[in-house]
Amino acid sequence: MDKKTGAKLEMALITPDGIEAWNHVVRTYGLVFTLSYLDHTPVLYVGTKESRAEPWLTANTQQLHIHKWPIRNEQVFKGLRELEQRLEELGMVVTLQYKRNSQKQRFISLRFVPLTHTGLTVVLDVIKKGQSRKYEEFALNNRW
């Protein structure tokens, strides 16, 4: 089996576990994620239903760099730490990716990226500039 086929098979096997880890943390800690691209900087906010959302990941569209911000809310911090640990056990991380198409439209995507750097990622959702979307649990469907 070549490397690309092996990487595809590996991602197909661990993606449902990554979705389950995400859903478990959301249910346990009551987290709500918001991916926002309303201004020049795409941001992934995280908070609870009772607390105000804080920025967790921001994408610098000029330098193509993802910055992780410290979280002050203790419950949100514990939830994110558990999510990162569960995904790390599976060999994945949550990140953002910035793209532009040929018509110069700008997009930001929320994705799982393997730690092995195989180049294959799992796109959870994509939004255009000027949009914002909230996420709680992801349904397990035929995509993963």
What are phi and psi for residue 35, nearest 5 degrees? -95, 120
65-80 pLDDT tens trace: 899 999 999 999 999 9
Q: What is the pLDDT of residue 133?
A: 94
Write down the pTM of the prediction: 0.87
In whole angstroms, give the CA distance from residue 23 to residue 30: 10
Q: Could you tell me which of 66, 69, 63, 75 has the C-alpha nearest to residue 31? A: 75
Q: What is the pLDDT of residues 13-62, one digit of tens each?
A: 778 888 999 999 999 999 999 999 999 899 999 999 898 999 999 998 88
In this predicted model, what pLDDT tens digit does every residue of 110-143 receive, in sequence order? 998 888 766 678 888 999 999 999 998 887 665 5
